[in-house]
Structure 1
Amino acid sequence: MKLSINQLRALEAVVRTGSFSAAAKELGISQPSVSNHLLALEKHYCAQLIHRNGRLAEPTELCSEVLSRIRSVLAMTREVEQILEGRKQLQTGTIRLGYSTYQFALPVISKFMEQYPDVNIEARAMASHDLMPLLQDGNFDVAFISAKSPPPEVNAFEMRIEQMVAVVGKEHPLAQFEMLQWKQLADLPLIQREKSSETRRVFEANAIKAGISLKTVLALGSWGSIVTSVQSGMGVGIAMAGEVTELDNLVAIPIDDNELTVSHFLICLPEMQHIASIQAIFDIASQ
């Protein structure tokens, strides 16, 4: 028996979905077919690849060891299929991406769409620390994240470095200041991102270094929600300077702390960086 692409697809789908039935539904084949693919692999190599616990299916240590390579093979296989079906690279296919800050990600995505209009884009917005596990699990091909430094296990391009700012309405008493001191933020009602946001993590870590106690009254998952809350006078927003635009009708005030910065990266897994669509979006980001 030789290793087949269908066997690898079945194994990867079972690991990602957590069940044989879900994998079968995704692949468009019967559950016995999925089971037969897995059993053939395990029998031939005399090794257990999946722990079967009732309806749950979990990868063994051996399976986890080869999983990233399997996903790389499947990605290359998809690319070959796309080239053959579309006759030309990037005339067909899909790129799946996640982003934490739409102001930084959407210009790159828009340019990609202009250059490769026939490539489908599946995009989801969420906090940076929530994106990483999904990238590692194969749910995303690339991700736009904010971080002080990129995770060591990814291929990363630094798009920009952002200063963190306090954001208030134009009539707020703080709006008259060109720069704020940490002590001016102590005990103010703050509106921040969710706890898994890198912006919030960096801000709170620097506040601790400055010996400042913070009072976060709202934790929101979208920039639009933060803007509306600040405009309504519910508190002082915390953001990256590049998030704030003229359309928001807010005042962004720097904080007197040279370490209060965060970078924005485009990342992918190392084994995926040679995929044509991923190379293309990295090329656009670097421009």
Structure 2
Amino acid sequence: MAITLRQLEIFEKVAVCGQVTQASGQLLLTQSAVSMALAELERLAGAPLFERSGRRLLLNDRGRQLLPEAQDVLARVRKIEQFLEDSVGTPVGTLIVGASTTIGNYLLPAMIGEFSRLYPGAKPLLQVGNALQIEQGVESGELDLGLIEGLQHLPSLTATPWRRDELVLIVGKEHPWASLGRATPEMLASATWIMREKGSGTREVFETAMERAGVSYVVALELGHTEAIKKAVEAGLGVGCISRMTVQRELDQGWLFEVASPVDLQRTLLIVTRKNDYRSALLKAFLALLECKLDL
């Protein structure tokens, strides 16, 4: 039997994603290459490791038993690779950065591009999810560090303040609040709210701020992406609350209107890392770049 590390890496990624399509995108491989590697691994294993359900791949009992063993091997290999990379003295290798949606879509792409120009031997990869997903990824070791826009959930991590941000209330140009420009607590309580899903940093900050202000509310529509919220609000379906950095263009163009309120919607963006964890030259270099972007 000649199982390769690449086959184990592909197996682990497919097991986590549950789909060849998503796994191939994260691994930067073709779907056919991923499928061939899985087929070869299952041939070497002598039996299937997954149950096929449409386009979904679900681990069977043998696959579930293999997964932690494969993850342990891959973690050991990554530590060896990191040690060898660090010994060169120049930040090189792959750094997996996780970011909650607003940060990942609006702030980090330019920074990652700048980091790649500064360190040609480095390969930063960005994974976007909601704040809780990013924290869980950092805690498990799947992510090297994370940037979140909500409240810290996991005390096992170190959370460092990074930047200030502000949420704004937005309505479409035909909404009655557009001409008023502000809303009272009573108006907020009766509004048709269009919000991000539970677990997102924006949703948590909004909920905390409304609770502190003593305002009851009902979320009528949950959408998993900021762009979808903007389009729904622009279409007159309700009132949204999102980061100013994500909606400034629409406000400037007059497609959406900002509404002032008595609710404090300021927030702090956070860098989350594992406590007492070894920091490679690569990780230190990326953290140094983030510190250059501080605005606190």
Q: What TM-score comes out, normalization by structure 1 length? A: 0.69
Distance 1:149 1:55 in 2: 33
Taking a change above 3 Å as real, the CA distance of residues 220 and 171 of structure 1, as seen in their structure-2 partners, is same
1:122-271 to 2 correspondence within 5 Å? 122-149=125-152, 151-247=154-250, 249=253, 250-258=256-264, 260-271=265-276
Distance 2:250 2:115 in 1: 25
Q: Which residue of 2 aligns with 1:117?
A: 120
Conservation of the 8 A alpha-carbon contact between 2:139 and 2:157: no
Taking a change above 3 Å as real, the CA distance of residues 158 and 95 of structure 1, as seen in their structure-2 partners, is same
Taking a change above 3 Å as real, the CA distance of residues 88 and 211 of structure 1, as seen in their structure-2 partners, is closer
1:276 counterpart = 2:284: no
- Superposed displacement of residue 205, structure 1: 3.4
Counterpart residue identity of residue 142, structure 2: N
Q: Which runs of 5+ in 2 are unaligned?
A: 1-7, 17-35, 46-60
- Superposed displacement of residue 75, structure 1: 4.9
Distance 1:147 1:30 in 2: 41
- Superposed displacement of residue 157, structure 1: 2.8
1:59-74 to 2 correspondence within 5 Å? none
Say which SS state the counterpart of residue 107 (structure 2) adopts.
helix
Conservation of the 8 A alpha-carbon contact between 1:241 and 1:252: no
Q: Which residue of 1 aligns with 2:111?
A: 108
- Superposed displacement of residue 233, structure 1: 1.6
Distance 2:283 2:140 in 1: 17
Q: Which residue of 2 aligns with 1:56?
A: 64
Distance 1:104 1:122 in 2: 14
Say which SS state the counterpart of residue 90 (structure 2) adopts.
coil
Distance 1:271 1:247 in 2: 43
Moved more, 117-126 or 75-84: 75-84
Q: Which residue of 2 aligns with 1:5?
A: none
Say which SS state the counterpart of residue 162 (structure 1) adopts.
strand
Alignment identity in percent? 23
Taking a change above 3 Å as real, the CA distance of residues 207 and 76 of structure 1, as seen in their structure-2 partners, is same
- Superposed displacement of residue 244, structure 1: 2.3
Distance 1:58 1:135 in 2: 23
- Superposed CA deviations along residues 106-133 of structure 1, whole A, max 9, x for unmatched, are 3432322231233223222211012222
Say which SS state the counterpart of residue 224 (structure 1) adopts.
helix
Alignment RMSD (CA, Å)? 4.1
- Superposed displacement of residue 156, structure 1: 3.0
Taking a change above 3 Å as real, the CA distance of residues 203 and 227 of structure 1, as seen in their structure-2 partners, is same
Counterpart residue identity of residue 167, structure 1: I
Conservation of the 8 A alpha-carbon contact between 1:129 and 1:196: yes
Moved more, 204-213 or 152-161: 204-213
1:286 counterpart = 2:291: yes
1:97 counterpart = 2:97: yes
Taking a change above 3 Å as real, the CA distance of residues 75 and 193 of structure 1, as seen in their structure-2 partners, is same
